[in-house]
């Protein structure tokens, strides 16, 4: 709920009227009293007076509102009302803040602009941001100098006038601290940027189709594989260019895919290259039509043309061997057996290179099904894994696992990120995990895809250690060492360089090679 929602909610319920009326009496009496005694503290006096006047509704509203309620006098800038939420957000107690002007909450670079606006309201009774029902998102300053982001709505208060003197104008501010939300938005945008970069630069082709087979999106990798640019494919029939011998089969599988959400077994068919040749692609299809964030068929495709050529060569060689079987001896049969073993090994390696995929019952967390890559990566048999639960495999606390399950069921799909899985021998595997909610035999299940990143993590650790050693050598070198960019601006230097040129490191990093060239010759 933002500050405007609080404002409109108070207004709709009648609480805003009570609050404003009570504050009018408070600041009016406070101002009248102050006209007699300049040493009276506006804020303390006004709150005491609220109780004296038995204005308990106003005090209760101020105490119960979770957002800051602040009243400041336009003429002097003094803060006269400061509720507990204001103290929590800005760090000042009421006794501290009521000796300050409202500008103590404003960053230095905005003070002149804000004071000009208050002066305009003080002199004319009008200012676009006051009582405009608009939510302003602005930086503010806490007691310790920390800058935060707030949402604020401003309203005028014309106090009731004391018979002995007139009161000036006041401004009511309702404030909400949105610093944490802004940081979450920033992190989310950065995550989206990284994800988009990953999709745009992956070697696989990522395609999103509508239910009728129309290409809605296709990644830049299509040009590397087929020679066609993405914009030439978007809006076309994905199956219109499939090899005539493969088209009917591909359309049949696609029709079956539309009936069942989730991942489907890989399929292969040929697509044209701009140079007139045909390229074999292997496609992994995920029906996400029911996912509101996708509403399409997502296909990951990779070029397997060379693999298909290798398989064709193997088949041709096998045919040759079969023709010679009748004429050859046991030696040839042995050679054929070795060839078959080689082919079996090749197919096993290909199977093991696939991503780990398994299904989990959403209610009990019991593992329902696994592919070979998954149970082999953990050292279990498929039967053993089916007797286990997600808690037995994931090396994180149960609460963390349950939280992720709830997110997946709520969103339909969730990128969990890096996790650790327990192998049968007790060792841990680093994996990168994403999951989707799918129907399974009349109940909800989770389809989990885990990519093993154990080796990548080891490499990252080794790289950090290498960088640490390089930094030690760089810093401790007896020679003056510099690093500059393509424009000659220094981006790094060691202590010997600073000593040799007589600059502090911060000063040297503000210079370029040209600035110190005479010292280097």
Q: What is the pLDDT of residues 226-238, one digit of tens each?
A: 999 999 999 999 9
* Sign, CA torsion 362/363/367/368: negative
Taking all residues of the chain, what is their mean pLDDT, rounded to a whole number?
A: 81
Is residue 98 over pLDDT 90?
A: no
C-alpha–C-alpha distance, residues 261 and 165, integer Å: 76
173 burial level (CB within 10 Å; 0-12, 13-18, 19+)? buried
Name the pLDDT band for 53 (thresholds 50, 70, 90): very low
The predicted structure's pLDDT at residue 393: 93
The predicted structure's pLDDT at residue 176: 92
C-alpha–C-alpha distance, residues 280 and 196, integer Å: 26
Quick: pLDDT tens for 239-297.
Answer: 999 999 999 999 999 999 999 999 898 899 999 999 999 999 999 999 999 988 889 99
C-alpha–C-alpha distance, residues 10 and 128, integer Å: 21
Name the pLDDT band for 419 (thresholds 50, 70, 90): very high
* Stretch among 33-42, 116-125, 452-461 having the lowest mean pLDDT: 33-42
Give percent above pLDDT 90 in the chain. Answer: 37
The predicted structure's pLDDT at residue 199: 61
Quick: pLDDT tens for 481-503.
Answer: 888 888 889 888 888 889 888 88
Is residue 478 over pLDDT 50?
A: yes
Q: What average pLDDT score do residues 445-470 get?
A: 86
Is residue 162 over pLDDT 50?
A: no
Is residue 476 over pLDDT 90?
A: no
3-state helix, strand, coil in the chain (%, to 5): 50, 25, 25
Name the pLDDT band for 140 (thresholds 50, 70, 90): very high
Is residue 353 over pLDDT 50?
A: no
Is residue 102 over pLDDT 60?
A: yes
User: What pTM value is reported for the model?
Assistant: 0.37
- β-pair type (267-272, 278-288): antiparallel
C-alpha–C-alpha distance, residues 348 and 363, integer Å: 34
Q: What average pLDDT score do residues 405-417 get?
A: 92
Is residue 39 over pLDDT 50?
A: no
- Residue 320 vs residue 21, higher pLDDT: 320
Q: What average pLDDT score do residues 16-36 get?
A: 47
C-alpha–C-alpha distance, residues 489 and 223, integer Å: 38
C-alpha–C-alpha distance, residues 67 and 88, integer Å: 9
Is residue 372 over pLDDT 50?
A: yes
Q: What average pLDDT score do residues 141-145 get?
A: 93
């Amino acid at each position: 709920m933002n500050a405007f929602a609080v404002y409109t909610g108070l207004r709709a319920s009648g609480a805003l009227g009570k609050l404003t009326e009570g504050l009018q009496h408070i600041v009016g009496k406070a101002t009248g009293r102050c006209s007699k005694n300049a040493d009276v503290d506006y804020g303390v006096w006004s709150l005491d007076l609220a109780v004296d006047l038995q204005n308990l509704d106003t005090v209760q509203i101020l105490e119960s509102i979770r957002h800051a309620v602040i009243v400041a006098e336009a003429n002097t800038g003094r803060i006269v009302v400061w509720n507990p939420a204001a103290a929590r957000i800005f760090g000042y107690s009421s006794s501290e803040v009521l000796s300050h002007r409202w500008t103590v909450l404003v960053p230095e670079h905005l003070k002149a602009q804000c004071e000009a606006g208050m002066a305009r309201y003080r002199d004319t009774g009008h200012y676009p941001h006051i009582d405009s029902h608009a939510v302003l998102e602005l930086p503010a300053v806490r007691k310790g100098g920390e800058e935060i982001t707030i949402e604020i709505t401003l309203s005028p208060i014309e106090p009731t006038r004391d018979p002995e003197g007139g009161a000036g104008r006041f401004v009511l501010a309702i404030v909400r601290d949105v610093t944490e939300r802004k940081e979450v938005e920033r992190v989310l945008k950065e995550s989206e940027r990284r994800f988009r970069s990953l999709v745009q630069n992956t070697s696989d082709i990522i395609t999103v189709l509508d239910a009728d087979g129309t290409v809605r999106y296709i990644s830049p990798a299509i040009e590397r594989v087929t020679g066609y640019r993405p914009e030439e494919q978007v809006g076309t029939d994905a199956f219109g260019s499939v090899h005539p011998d493969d088209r009917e089969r591909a359309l049949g599988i696609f029709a079956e895919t539309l009936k069942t959400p989730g991942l489907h077994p890989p399929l292969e068919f040929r697509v044209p290259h701009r140079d007139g040749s045909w390229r074999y692609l292997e496609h992994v299809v995920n029906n996400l039509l029911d996912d509101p964030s996708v509403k399409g068929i997502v296909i990951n495709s990779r070029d397997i043309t060379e693999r298909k050529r290798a398989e064709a060569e193997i088949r041709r060689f096998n045919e040759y061997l079969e023709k010679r079987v009748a004429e050859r001896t046991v030696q040839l049969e042995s050679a054929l057996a070795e060839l078959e073993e080689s082919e079996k090994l090749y197919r096993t390696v290909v199977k093991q290179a696939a991503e780990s995929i398994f299904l989990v019952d959403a209610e009990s967390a019991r593992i329902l099904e696994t592919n070979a890559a998954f149970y082999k990566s953990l050292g279990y048999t498929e039967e053993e894994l089916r007797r286990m639960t997600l808690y037995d495999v994931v090396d994180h606390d149960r609460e963390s696992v349950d939280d992720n399950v709830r997110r997946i069921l709520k969103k339909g799909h969730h990128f969990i990120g890096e996790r650790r899985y327990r192998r049968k021998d007790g060792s841990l595997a680093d994996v990168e995990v994403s999951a989707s909610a799918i129907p399974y035999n009349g109940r909800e299940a989770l389809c989990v895809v885990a990519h093993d990143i154990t080796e990548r993590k080891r490499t990252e650790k080794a790289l950090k250690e290498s960088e640490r050693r390089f930094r030690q050598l760089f810093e401790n070198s007896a020679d003056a060492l510099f690093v500059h960019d393509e424009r000659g601006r220094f981006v790094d230097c060691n202590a010997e360089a600073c000593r040799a040129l007589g600059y502090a490191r911060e000063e040297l990093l503000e210079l370029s090679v040209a600035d110190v060239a005479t010292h280097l010759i």
